[in-house]
Amino acid sequence: MEGTHLLLSVLVLLASHSLANVNGDTDVSSSGGTTTTYIVFMDLAAMPAAHPSPAHWHAAHLQSLSIDPARHLLYSYSVAAHGFAAALLPHHLPLLRDSPGVLQVVPDTVFQLHTTRTPEFLGLLSPAYQPAIHNLDAASHDVVIGVLDTGVWPESPSFAGGDLPPPPAHWKGVCEVGVDFPASACGRKLVGARSFSR
């Protein structure tokens, strides 16, 4: 009887250890595959009216393909783009690509910045561009601007609060603790921050 109890305890311990390791960027599924993060762009016009929000639709869409949204869905996007980020297994890709409402499935890629000084990098400070800078109406026609938010470095002297007053009482933001970002990183100039790392 004692041997059966010990064997049962070991099996429960192994099962709980296996369940504790099912989430993460390098998730290994029961079929032995490893997940990779993808951005799935959706056609908002294809969202059925029964869904109260795009996030609800994204989760339901994954569920309809037998992909567990609680395990695979990372983020839902509905402002600058419509879609979601998900940690997917290789066999999920054709299911998503062939399903209605999906425009594109793109692997998440990390890009390195070329510069943090765009005018110099683009050559906009050269004499050839000086007339355009003085005529901003003409210079701003047919211009595409991209913003890449790479986060914040709170240790920078530019974030020193100095003599600034505290945030106004109507400020509703938060200073969210994140990876290598303690609440003490916020102050009188950097008054709020959100963490988006998963």
**Higher pLDDT, residue 23 or 170:** 170
- To 5 degrees, how large is the angle CA 38–CA 101–CA 93? 35
Q: Where are the domains of the chain?
A: 21-107
Evaluate if residue 1 carries a pLDDT over 70. no
List for the chain the helix, strand, coil content (%; round to 5). 35, 15, 50
Fold of 21-107: Alpha-Beta Plaits (3.30.70)
The pLDDT mean for the chain works out to 78
Q: How far is CA 90 from CA 77, 97, 110, 172, 185, in A?
A: 22, 12, 19, 42, 40
Question: Using one digit for the tens of pLDDT, what is the confidence trace for 57-70?
Answer: 999 999 999 999 99
| pTM exceeds 0.75, yes or no | no
Mean pLDDT of 153-170: 85
Of 165, 157, 167, the residue nearest 193 (C-alpha) = 167
Band (pLDDT 50/70/90 cuts) for residue 114 is: confident
